[in-house]
Structure 1
Amino acid sequence: MNMSTTNPSSFILVLFSITLVLALAIRSLRSKKPKGPLPPGPRGWPIIGNLFDMVMNRPIHLWIHRVMEDMQTEIACFRFARTHVFTITSSEIAREVLRENDEALADRAESYSINLISNGYKGVAFSSYGERWKLSKKVMVNKLMSPTTLNKALGDRTLEADNIVTYIFNLCRSGSMTVNVRDVALTYCHAVMMRMLFGQRHFDEAAEDGGLGPKEKEHMDAIYQALDFFFSFNVADYIPFLRGWNIGGEEAEVREAVHTINRCNDPIIHKRMQLWSQKGGKETEEDWLDILITLKDGQGRPLFTFDEIRAQCKDINVASIDNTMNNVEWTIAEMLNHPEILEKATNELDMVVGKDRFVQESDIPKLNYIKACSRESFRLHPANAFMPPHGAREDTTLAGYFVPKGSQIIVSRLGLGRNPKIWDEPNTFKPERHIDARDSVCLTLMEPDMRFVTFSTGRRGCAGIKIGTSMTIMLLARLLQGFKWTLPPGTSQVELTPAESNLFMAKPLLVSAKPRLAPGLYPKIQV
């Protein structure tokens, strides 16, 4: 899960070898002066702007936030070659991006990794704003994520919630001294995603212990590698003709990752499309893949091609893994360092659900403190420093500053969640801040005022807010209800250190677990 980064020495060699070419090319173009003032930003080099600083200051999100802090600004403009990149840490300006200027900023950036992941910009998450994108988004919202479809799959999600507690229960019975919370969360997330998308838990043979099989682990690792590359800042993203040069080797890595995802997904998609094309192949639509294949246009032809279905499947792969895993791991880590919070969350479960049955999705509306803990982890520990970049489709303004067409706008998850102008004691884990004076209100994970980010909003917003909430709270609640979590012997606190590439915990959370419910409540693994 380590992010690919550009090797500085390789970059410098390439940079100076192309500078003269760039200079001649750019001199042949008439430079357009901005139609208004740009936000403050660091001084850049001629032609390449801040590219050199970007490469020499890894991890980049720390450098960007340091520059903004030094300049005392909540909106900054960095220039990477000819691309203006606007970074935002203000909730007010974030609302401008996702509300007032939502349509003007509804495009996506183009990059080598996005092209590969989206099968040539054919998926919902990464394709350009336009009629085909609107159609795909409509299908995602009204078909795949409709209440009817999600309710139909409730049994599959409950089955995997049962499986995960039994998986841990079996680890405890086997004498395992510690449980890897990240492994547990990934097992659950991948299994739910597979059942919802493909109607099966495994690609090939089931793992005997209820965990991930070799092919599932390979698939999941490839998804994370592709995600890491997508969220990194790569030189070729801003100098398009360098794409394919494999500077520093990162492009070869993302090619391999996407190839692995396709190698796992494609046989299922091909087989299912062939099944539906045969007369009487299937009686009903049983999963998301069935829906994508069977949708028809006005002339009765398939609405999506194989390439488009392939892209949609990869969109679901990359969108359904990181948030839940990261949130649950950080939440349990914070709770172990704050035993009073862990006790309060467990007491809520005992009061709302009891100890004679496992928590169900229908209980989630009543679990306000559990949701407050999850919200606090989203605020303090997002999976990545920035939201996916928005692209300016036309000249516009933000906070009174000029935004040229073609600019990229990245809202900082980290900057919003830890902004001292928004939050009191921003670096302290305090779930109670989310439920003050709201005890009678059903708390949600959404944050419409953009004071922090759970799921993105607006035209480019996450279509799977409901399923994302259900997966996150269900997993967290099942783990807290089913087991007593303690630090391993000889450990006094969890080291709360984020990774440099993404913002996951730098080391997987290893803790001791003991069943806290009657042994007969833990079901057998069902595959």
Structure 2
Amino acid sequence: MNMNVSYPSSFTLVFSITLVLALAIRFLIPKKSKGQLPPGPGGWPIIGNLFQMIMNRPAHQWIHRVMEAMETEIACFRFAGVHVIIVTSSEIAREVLREKDKALADRAEAYSIKLVSHGYNGVSFSSYGERWKLAKKVMVTKLLSSATLNKTIGDRTVEADNIVTYVYNICQSVSVTKLVNVRDVALTYSHAVMMRMLFGQRHFDKPDKDGGLGPKEKEHMDAIFRALDCLFGFTIADYLPFLRGWNVEGEEKDVREAVDIINRCNDPIIRERMHLWREKGGKATEEDWLDILITQKDDQGMYLFTFEEIRAQCKDVNVATIDNTMNTVEWTIGEMLNHPEILEKATKELNTVVGKERLIQESDIPQLNYIKACCRESFRLHPPNAFLPPHGAREDTTLAGYFVPKGSQILVSRPGLGRNPKTWEKPDEFKPERHFVDRSRDPVDVTLMEPDMGFVVFGTGRRGCAGPKLGTTMIVMLLARLLQGFEWTLPPGASQVELIAANTNLFMAKPLIASAKPRLATGLYPKIQV
């Protein structure tokens, strides 16, 4: 959804009506603070900064401009009765995600979040409590355990093979250079891996003959991204609950349509599999994540999860496994095309570690330090979204010495951390070499984790990412396979890649188109396995 639009006069009318209603709604009047709030821009009575947010789309850019002008790394914006606290420093981010982790372990309530999570079920968006703890435990110890990831390595390898052959098919022959949509390639791989891990199948319907996504998979993937855009938007109804369901800004219609599409794709598989396991005796073994979710039982032998909880957890997987991989690989290749010396170093590393006689495997990843450094640098400069999912204050607390009222939403800024000049020298430059030296110790092996919160790869703490190992594997495998299998150059007539982020999210504004030419022997490109 494009958030950078001009609103018609009818919108002004709706807002005026909203303002009148807001004045009459007692709960919108903020309670007297028990301490000094973080600094923030001046606002209107009752509605605070809500009107400023609406008139300065996209809101995340306006928020960062305000904080830069105020020269602060923590700021409080009041949207009606909700205090939204933004953090742009690694020190305060560590306080949010570690020291005050339990006090800030809730999630925000919003129309889009409620729809996507089927009433705040699942792991990503539900409130902190016993059911959430149970779902998170199953996610970490069952779905994403080392045993499960080792068991499913074959599925991921098949898709790593498939994506190389998909690009090879586009190239058609070793002597012809063809234009490749890098975003399409990354999404094809990400979606296929997610489908195999979750449902044990690559396609909902018929496979595409060239190795790409079929029509239903493309529809499914597009719906996931539409839902993601809504989850990270700033809308009036997020802060004025009595407007939820009115579709004031058009976003609610978008998220309803997106969720309906995802349900049409996911639900038949979930229902059929639940019937198989719970009424027909199941299969010999649990073969994928859906099997694991359906078969979990408590101490009394009762099934742990309802249909609604399972479909919510499937959507968690849908939205968590696609955007990071696509975004990181696309930006990294784009940066490499603008910095040929970096592309050359990455290719030399692959030649040294793996060679050209076989395809890279997951077991090679620990040795690919330069490629991992390139991925880290892309995460630092080009995160997929402006903020981590909001953390909700379960109780009154403090951050950086400021008072944080119960019910506040705390947003950690991803570009705020990654481009903070207090943390990073020349923060706007793409320099993978900066990640070879730990900032406080000696040279170390490169990983995608960032314990000091100098930037954010995977969320940490109680509400953090449950699968950083899988996320790392998918990102590094895709990038390494594409660099090993093909010579990448700028399209004919282009002098550089236009490295501009979109407004709604921080994906590359235009899909990256690049020239690719196979660089391995023909026999190393396997056949598509569906």
TM-score of the superposed pair, with normalisation by structure 1: 0.97
Please give the alpha-carbon distance, in whole angstroms, between the structure 2 residues aligned to 1:457 and 1:504.
22
Query: What is the aligned partner in structure 1 of residue 394 from structure 2?
Result: 393
Q: 1:292: how far off?
A: 0.2
What is the CA distance between 1:9 and its match in structure 2?
A: 4.2
Task: State the match for 2:461 in structure 1.
Answer: 458
Secondary structure (helix, strand or coil) at the match of 1:402 reads strand
Contact 1:2 1:228 in 2 (8 A): no
AA at the equivalent of 2:12: I
Q: Which residue of 2 aligns with 1:16?
A: 16
Counterparts in 2 of 1:3 and 1:268: CA distance versus 1, 3 Å? farther
CA shift for structure 1 position 436: 3.0
- Kindly state the Cα deviation for residue 248 of structure 1 after the two structures are TM-superposed: 2.7
Q: Matches of 2:67 and 2:501 in 1, distance apart?
A: 21
Q: Distance in 1 between matches of 2:196 and 2:6?
A: 36
SS in 2 for 1:416: helix
Show the counterpart of 2:188.
187
Q: CA deviation at 1:279?
A: 3.9
Superposed counterparts of 1:6-45, under 5 Å? 7=7, 9-26=9-26, 32-45=31-44
Answer whether contact 1:3 1:225 (CA < 8 A) is retained.
no
Give me the identity figure in percent.
75
3-state SS in 2 of match to 1:485: strand
Report what 2:489 is aligned to. Answer: 486
1:509 corresponds to: 512
**Range moving further from structure 2, 243-252 or 136-145:** 243-252
For residues 405 and 369 of structure 2, what CA distance do their matches in structure 1 show? 43
1:113-192 matched pairs, under 5 angstroms: 113-173=112-172, 177-192=178-193
Partner of 2:526: 523
Aligned with 1:178: secondary structure?
A: strand
Q: What whole-Å deviation, never above 9, does each CA across 1:291-328 have from its counterpart, x for those lacking one? A: 00000111111110000000000000000010010000
CA-to-partner distance for each residue in 1:237-296, whole Å, 9 max, x for gaps?
000010000113221111000000010000000000011123433111000000000001
Distance 1:107 1:9 in 2: 37
> Could you tell me whether the CA contact under 8 Å between 2:178 and 2:517 is conserved in 1?
no
The whole-number CA distance in structure 2 between the counterparts of 1:430 and 1:372 is 9
Give the Cα separation in 2 of the matches to 1:23 and 1:59. Answer: 26
**Residue 512 of structure 1: how far off its partner (Å):** 0.5
**Residue type of the alignment partner of 1:46:** P
Q: How does 1:80-479 map to 2 (within 5 A)?
A: 80-173=79-172, 177-436=178-437, 441-479=444-482
C-alpha RMSD of matched pairs (Å): 1.6
Would the aligned equivalents of 2:123 and 2:313 in 1 still touch at CA under 8 Å? yes
Superposed displacement of residue 177, structure 1: 2.9
Give the deviation of 1:439 after TM superposition.
8.6
* CA distance 1:312–1:7, shift in 2 (3 Å): farther
Q: Displacement of 1:10 after TM fit?
A: 4.4
1:349-400: per-residue Cα shift (whole Å, max 9, x none)?
0000111001111000000000000000000000011111000000000000
Shift of 1:442: 2.5
Alignment TM-score, normalising by the size of structure 2: 0.97
| Deviations 1:10-68 (CA, angstroms, capped at 9, x unpaired) | 44322221323322332x88852111101110000111110111011011111101100
Amino acid in the other structure paired with 1:37: Q
Distance in 1, Cα, partners of 2:286 & 2:200? 10
Distance 1:230 1:176 in 2: 39
Counterpart AA for 1:166? T
Q: Conserved in 1, the CA contact under 8 Å of 2:22 and 2:28?
A: no
Q: State the secondary structure of the residue aligned to 1:267.
A: helix
The residue number in structure 1 matching 2:77 is 78
Instruction: Supply the distance in 2 between the matched residues of 1:459 and 1:7 (Cα, whole angstroms).
Output: 39
Q: How far 1:450 moved relative to its partner?
A: 0.5
What residue in structure 1 maps to residue 50 of structure 2?
51
CA offsets 1:61-112 (integer angstroms, 9 cap, x no match): 1110110010000000000000000001010000000001000000000000
Compared CA separation, residues 461 and 8, structure 1 to 2 (3 A): farther
Residue-pair matches, total? 526
Counterparts of 1:229 and 1:271 in 2: how far apart (Å)?
30
Checking the alignment, whether the CA contact within 8 Å between 2:3 and 2:58 is kept in structure 1 is: no
The DSSP-based 3-state class of the residue aligned with 2:178 is coil
CA distance change for structure 1 residues 5 and 254 in 2, over 3 Å: closer, same or farther? farther
1:137 and 1:4, CA in 2 relative to 1: closer, same or farther beyond 3 A? Answer: farther
Tell me the distance in 1 between the aligned counterparts of 2:11 and 2:33.
29
Q: 1:86-145 CA distances to partner (integer Å, 9 max, x unpaired)?
A: 001010000000001000000000000000000000010000000000000000000000
Decide whether the 8 Å contact of 2:28 with 2:47 is kept in 1. Answer: no
Task: Report the CA distance between 1:227 and its aligned residue.
Answer: 0.1
- Asked if the contact 1:6/1:247 (under 8 Å) is kept, the reply is no
Which amino acid counterpart does residue 16 of structure 1 have in structure 2? S
- Gap regions ≥5 residues in structure 1: none
Q: Secondary structure at the match of 1:93?
A: helix
Query: Is 1:6–1:235's contact at 8 Å kept on the other side of the alignment?
Result: no
Quick one: which amino acid aligns to residue 139 of structure 2? M
Amino acid at match of 1:44: G
Contact 1:336–1:494, Cα closer than 8 Å, also in 2 = yes
SS of 2:250's equivalent in the other structure is helix
Alignment check: 8 A CA contact 1:419 1:426 kept: yes
Q: Secondary structure at the match of 1:77?
A: strand
8 Å CA contact 1:150–1:467 kept in 2: the answer is: yes
Instruction: Give the letter aligned to residue 295 of structure 2.
Output: T
Alpha carbons of 1:37 and 1:493: their partners in 2 closer, same or farther (altered >3 Å)? same
The amino acid across from 1:521 in the alignment is L
